[in-house]
Amino acid sequence: MKKVLPWLLTLVLLAGAWVQNAVALPDGSSEASFLTPATVGHAATARNLTLTVTDVRAARSITDPTGRTLESTWVVVDVDAEAIDSQYGATLGFAELTVGERTFRATERVQSFFRQRLVPGVPRSGAVAFELPADALKGTGTLRLGIPSDARYDGLVELTIDLSDIPVEDAITLPTTHWTHT
Amino acid sequence: MTIPTPLVADTPESQTPAPKQPGWWRTNRLALVALLVLVPAIGIGVGWNEWYSYYGYGFRKVTVVEVPDKGTVKVAGAEWGPVRSGEITDTSTLDMPKGTRLLAAIVPVKPDGKAVSCEAPMLVQQSTGREWTPMRSEVGLAYSFDENETCVSDLADEKDPESAQPFSLTVGFVVPDDVTGPFWLDVDPRGDGRFVRFSIDP
Amino acid sequence: MNAAPPSPVQERTLLTRVRRMASLIPTPWLITAGGAVLLAATAAFGGLQTVSPKPAPAVSVGERYSGSDLQMTVQGVELRAERGNAASFPDKEKHEKVLAVIVDVVNTFGKPRLATGSGSPSPAVDGIHVEGIDEKPLIAYADGSDGRVWLQPGVPVQLVLSWVVGPDELHDGDEVRLTLPDSTHSVGTNVQRGVDIWDEVVVGATLTATVREIPASEEDAL
């Protein structure tokens, strides 16, 4: 038994190492954001944020409230959002759309709801737009919206979109960011 | 065949039991005392260091300085108050959402020589701690030169940095109807961790 | 007490065994063999003489260049009396002009990136360097869009890089030499954990272009 014991111990340790390797989370998982899943039309709550995606559309050209028109391939997401506890630093500062291997950031080329202020208890409505390459409107996209521009350790609202399913319009006019209940 | 003599002399000393070993606690007493001292010391040291690196440089609100009702207080080289506050009920020309109130406050600031800088005041609901920051363009309030949301540096003599003039902070907050007072109006001047807290109930 | 020292008889055998094994290893043989391997490897890599770096390839106006996970195609170099869509502001009193480089850029990396890079030389679009000018250019969208230039993956965009130049530094028809940057991508592990970093910036390509002067009166049409 004494002779077998070291070998037994070795086997146990090897098995343990294999299991630990198999279940280990990827690097950086400790900093990962807390994701709240959402569906179109239903409110979702993340840290200091209650948000509802009311519509997802696509267009070949968008026009913003100042009249600037840009032609490209756009995905436009209509959002109602409010803060919960604090208005300090509360803006819609995180908006990313991940399609396959690529991640896109909401455009700042036009005026939109992106990076606008959010008020606790008082919802605002607007739209954010993502500029995509011409061939990218297919497959599944994951939309993530939230307050902080650096979303590590923070909360985000996540929505899955079927990009081949959304209606593609010729032109969409982005609304001015306004109070939801006027 | 004789009985062989024993190899070891059967002396009385060998009969006495082996001396008792000192107990675990006694042998390790130095290490235990060291632990008792060092663990709290490290805890306090690291904890204080972390607290200071986050709160210690005057950029965050740490210590409250409450202002007496209708009174003033001197903090960070300026006199703050007395605060005036109220609800703006005539919002017909403004872009206000349904189900909200527009609460306004004015804080006179008298710098004591050098200009003072501060962030915009915050409205805090006393019962819940929820906080709001000033809104202006979002409700259609045009920018006004005399209505400052943050501290300004208005020198009477451009060449004399000690000639800062008094001014007022004028701020408006959009607050849902179901949020009731009393509130605090917090103003955090840059300098140390002390900040000014007015109690208001507009 | 469990850890009894090995009895004298055992100890002698163990130590002696180790000593004998050590003496059996042919140390001189190993040293010679190691030396031979080192020499062979050095010879295989071309010897100890430093290898001169390959000269950067030359690209021309309109030709696409790939470097720093970006595709850049310089479309033209202009000397403007008025800034037009460029981000640089020339001082009219001093008769300063704007040197503008128009470039089509596609971000081939999987995440959005700023067209400006930190530090000098920059690994990003503002790493395009004009021989004779030390500063980094300012970048603006060619169509006048506001805000910082974020390059979305796979989305082509036209940018204007600009520098302010003196009234007599350049003229119509002059040749300018540009260098285009290349760099290595890595993911930060320590303080910048998870952050995408492009560094070890080198000259990826050179480009010689002719300056086209655009006098003030023509600017109104732009």
Domain spans, chain A: 29-179
C38 and C67 together in one domain:
no
Q: Do chains C and B touch (3 or more CB pairs under 8 A)?
A: no
DSSP calls for C116-168: S-SSSS-SSGGG-EETT--SPPEEEETT---S--EE-BT--EEEEEEEEE-TT
In the A/B pair of chains, how many CB contacts fall below 8 A? Answer: 49
CATH topology of domain B63-200: Immunoglobulin-like (2.60.40)
Q: Quick check: C11 pLDDT over 80? A: no
Domain ranges of chain B: 24-55, 63-200
Question: Is C193's CB within 8 Å of A101's CB?
Answer: no
**Chain C residues with CB inside 8 Å of A131's CB?**
152, 155
Tokens of B73: 């207080």
**B159: amino acid identity, one letter:** K
For every one of its 202 residues, what pLDDT tens digit does chain B have, with 9 covering 90 and above? 677 776 766 555 555 666 677 889 999 999 999 999 999 999 999 999 999 998 887 778 888 899 988 899 999 889 998 999 999 998 888 999 999 999 999 999 999 988 899 989 999 999 999 999 999 989 988 888 788 899 988 888 888 888 889 999 999 999 999 999 899 999 999 877 899 999 999 8
C112 and C134 together in one domain:
yes
Closest partner CB to A102 (pick from C145, C148, C154): C154
In angstroms, the separation between the Cα of residue A49 and the nearest Cα of chain C is 24
Q: What is the CATH number of domain A29-179?
A: 2.60.40.1240
Q: Predicted ipTM?
A: 0.86
Question: Is B176's CB within 8 Å of A121's CB?
Answer: yes
C169 and C74 together in one domain:
yes
Three-point CA angle C127, C131, C136, nearest 5°: 35
**Chain A residues with CB inside 8 Å of B100's CB?**
122
Predicted TM-score (pTM) of the model is: 0.81
C113 and C174 together in one domain:
yes
Range with the lowest mean pLDDT among C24-28, C80-84, C203-207?
Answer: C24-28
Q: Quick check: C18 pLDDT over 90? A: no
CB C218 within 8 A of CB C208: no
Phi, psi of B188 (to 5 degrees): -110, 100
Q: How many domains does chain C have?
A: 2
State mean pLDDT over C191-213: 88
Strand ranges of the sheet holding B131-132, from the earlier edge strand across to the other edge: B63-66, B194-200, B183-187, B122-125, B131-132
Question: Is B132's CB within 8 Å of A181's CB?
Answer: no
**B195: amino acid identity, one letter:** F
Question: Is A181's CB within 8 Å of B135's CB?
Answer: no
User: What does the pLDDT read at residue A27?
Assistant: 76
CB A60 within 8 A of CB A74: yes
Share of chain B above pLDDT 90, in %: 57
CB B197 within 8 A of CB B185: yes
CB C215 within 8 A of CB C167: no
Residue C52 lies in a domain: no
Tokens of B20: 């008792």
Bridge partner list, C192: none
In angstroms, the separation between the Cα of residue B171 and the nearest Cα of chain A is 14
Closest partner CB to A120 (pick from B96, B97, B130): B130
* Bond from prior residue into A65 cis (ω within 30 degrees of 0): no
Tokens of A3: 């002779």
CATH number at residue C144: 2.60.40
Q: Do chains A and B touch (3 or more CB pairs under 8 A)?
A: yes
Three-point CA angle C57, C60, C61, nearest 5°: 145
Question: Is A181's CB within 8 Å of B98's CB?
Answer: yes
Closest B-chain CA to A88: B133
Question: Is A132's CB within 8 Å of C146's CB?
Answer: no
C90 and C26 together in one domain:
no
Question: Is A102's CB within 8 Å of C111's CB?
Answer: yes
Question: Is A133's CB within 8 Å of C154's CB?
Answer: yes
In angstroms, the separation between the Cα of residue C147 and the nearest Cα of chain A is 6
Closest partner CB to B97 (pick from A86, A88, A179): A179
C38 and C141 together in one domain:
no
Whether the CB of B133 is below 8 Å from some CB of chain A: the reply is: yes
User: What does the pLDDT read at residue C127?
Assistant: 92
Chosen for mutation from A48, A179, A180 (greatest number of chain B CBs closer than 10 Å) is A179
Question: Is C194's CB within 8 Å of A28's CB?
Answer: yes
Residue C1 lies in a domain: no
- In which residue ranges of chain A is pLDDT below 50? none
User: What does the pLDDT read at residue B171?
Assistant: 94
A58 burial type by CB count under 10 A (0-12 exposed, 13-18 middle, 19+ buried) = buried
Bridge partner list, C151: C113
Residue C53 lies in a domain: no
Closest B-chain CA to A178: B138
Q: What is the 3-state secondary structure (H, E, C) of chain A?
A: CCCHHHHHHHHHHHHHHHHHHHHCCCCCHHHCCEEEEECCCCEEEECCEEEEEEEEEEEEEEECCCCCEEEEEEEEEEEEEEECCECCCCECCEEEEEECCEEEECCCCCCCCCCCECEECECEEEEEEEEECCCCCCCEEEEEEECCCCCCCCEEEEEEEECCCCCEECCEECCCCEECCC
C36 and C116 together in one domain:
no
Model confidence over A151-170: pLDDT tens digits? 888 999 999 999 999 989 99
Share of chain C above pLDDT 90, in %: 50
In angstroms, the separation between the Cα of residue A45 and the nearest Cα of chain C is 26
Question: Is A108's CB within 8 Å of C148's CB?
Answer: yes
Domain with C23, as residue range(s), is: 10-44
CB atoms within 10 A of CB B2: 4
Nearest to B105 by CA among B191, B181, B190: B181
CB atoms within 10 A of CB C6: 11
C34 and C120 together in one domain:
no
